[in-house]
Amino acid sequence: MCYVNCNVDWSSDIGKEKWLKYSKDLIENTLNRKMNGNVAKNVIFFLGDGMGVSTVTAGRIWKGQLQNRPGEEEITHMEKLDHLALSKTYNIDAQTPDSAGTATAYETGVKTRIRAIGVDGNAVDCKTVQDSKLDSILDWAHFAGKSVGIVTTTRVTHASPSALYAHVHERDMEAYDGIKFTEQHFNDGCRDIASRLIDDNQFINVIFGGGAQKFLPKTIINPLTNATGDRIDGRNLIEEWQKNMENQKKKFKYLTTGQELNSLNSNDADYVLGLFNWDHMNYESDRVKNKIDEPSIIEMTQKAIQLLRKNPNGYLLFVEGGKIDLAHHGNNARRALDDFVVFDNAIGEAVNMVSLDNTLIVVSADHSHVFTIGGYAVRGNPIFGIVNTTESGKLSTFGATFTSLAYTNGPAGLETARKTNITNNETEQLEYHQEALVKLDYETHGGEEVAIYASGPMAYLFDGTVEQSHIAHVIAYSACIGPYNETNYDGCKKKRGIYIPENHSSRINISSFFYICLILYSVF
């Protein structure tokens, strides 16, 4: 690992030629871009949990530095997608959101309360859930005859994936454990998230992630950790899923290791449940370092696409890089950015596997974190290193070194000002936790907008600053499913609003063109 400024050579940046050429090429490429008005056969929605703009920036630099470049000039796979917008992430009752209310927004098209899953804002207890249930993009795709899949590096019952299939007013109701979900909840009409996945959603073709403990009774013991299952109702939901598949004579597989996933021939199963960890899956850094037999998010994404694309009607796949968020909550930027890099590489693999003529790819985040980059560091400064700068401010007012990366709050908060130096040798370690201003047990989310990147059919509808719930609507309109299917929205497949470049100087909306012609005809 290099220190100070990685012996950066940015001599090509000094003159004007590079920058003039960059913008001319970009303008030309944008003018020549074809606006894709096709109906999306397939949709892949990538969600980087906690992947705010500062995470994208730091992750981009880290990705470049891993390839022995300065890093700032790197372009990630998500940033290579054609269209960009910003998403307003607040919940209806919270300025800074959580992952449950945000997931409900981008997966159902309706904003809701903080901590609520798959229900609108009227759900406040078990008795109000039933009348507040919302269908999701996964439901809409299934009703349209498409295959559907979920990939996550967290528990599959965690907030982001569960809004696709569950309906609860409290996100912690992952299992009937007698603590977060009690007999009283059950008697009042609530159902835990894991049971909803197995009982109500047998049509889901691919489920990859962690969280086996939420599906197993306390009588089942993990031989590696001696941990027990969480359920006190005695149900073994994994066995129930397998029996349901057998009774329906479906081709299915249950997987628990990366080796099993990689050995699976996609033609051997139409339904695959893969629970690769008792709890959340491992951070990518630890998975690689400790040679853990779990699949990477790249491998899970590749296999999911191979399984789902067999359906001639297409598919919808949700892929979450969920551990970015969990690392940030611990003020551990290194693990967060390592997970960002592999998440971005999964996007690149997906782009290579599909045709953007008929596949909409959307990348976004549910929320940001109070994660910052600063300090006037020189070009190519190691992203996890101490600030090296030609400006004043290399040391704090107490004469101590400090890092470019920091947090507003979290477990690494300083109770008193640090007056001693830290070194690159310390800050670039996997276990280093970046400093925070306010000491909390758990670092919090940020409340600012997050980016939406997209390519494929109707991706140009992602434009400007929009409510987070709008994401689900663009996905649905692109594929003509859910509220925009041919029954609910007459003419979805005809009202595509395609834009065509003319002489690199102007674009005209086809529907507007015919409207103008109609006016001229009536006048003359």
168-185 per-position pLDDT tens digit: 999 999 999 999 999 999
Res 393: pLDDT: 64
Residue 514 pLDDT > 70: no
Region 197-218 average pLDDT: 98
Residue 515 pLDDT > 70: no
Region 213-221 average pLDDT: 98
Region 435-462 average pLDDT: 98
What residue ranges in 424-498 does DSSP mark as E strands?
436-439, 445-446, 450-455, 464-467
1-38 per-position pLDDT tens digit: 443 355 677 888 999 999 999 999 999 999 999 899 99
Residue 136 pLDDT > 50: yes
Res 7: pLDDT: 63
Which DSSP helix (H) or strand (E) runs through 128? helix 126-129
Residue 235 pLDDT > 50: yes
Question: Per the annotation, where are the binding residues?
Answer: 49, 158, 160, 320, 325, 329, 366-367, 445
Catalytic residues: 99
Write down the pTM of the prediction. Answer: 0.93
Residue 407 pLDDT > 70: yes
Res 516: pLDDT: 43
Res 508: pLDDT: 40
pLDDT band at 419; cut points 50, 70, 90: confident
Max CA distance (Å), the chain: 84
Region 357-377 average pLDDT: 97
Region 426-445 average pLDDT: 96
Whether 76 and 58 have beta carbons less than 8 Å apart is answered as no
Tokens 């997970």 -> residue: 339
Question: Per the annotation, where are the binding residues for Zn(2+)?
Answer: 49, 325, 329, 366-367, 445
Whether 150 and 208 have beta carbons less than 8 Å apart is answered as yes
Q: Which amino acid is at 344?
A: D
Region 425-430 average pLDDT: 94
Mean pLDDT of the chain: 93
Res 4: pLDDT: 39
Region 50-60 average pLDDT: 99
Give the tokens for residue 293: 């037999």
Residue 196 pLDDT > 90: yes
Res 512: pLDDT: 44
Domains in the chain: ranges and CATH: 38-370+444-484 (3.40.720.10), 375-442 (no CATH)
Res 15: pLDDT: 92
Region 100-115 average pLDDT: 99
Residue 306 pLDDT > 90: yes
Share of the chain above pLDDT 90, in %: 85
Res 497: pLDDT: 61
pLDDT band at 205; cut points 50, 70, 90: very high
Q: How far apart are CA 91 and CA 35, in angstroms?
A: 32
Give the tokens for residue 378: 């020189």
Residue 503 pLDDT > 50: no
Region 39-57 average pLDDT: 99
Whether 171 and 159 have beta carbons less than 8 Å apart is answered as yes
Q: How far apart are CA 274 and CA 264, in angstroms?
A: 11
Region 375-399 average pLDDT: 84
Output the CA torsion sign for 236, 277, 182, 366: negative
Residue 524 pLDDT > 70: no
Question: Per the annotation, where are the binding residues for Mg(2+)?
Answer: 49, 158, 160, 320
Region 260-275 average pLDDT: 98
Q: How far apart are CA 88 and CA 106, in angstroms?
A: 11
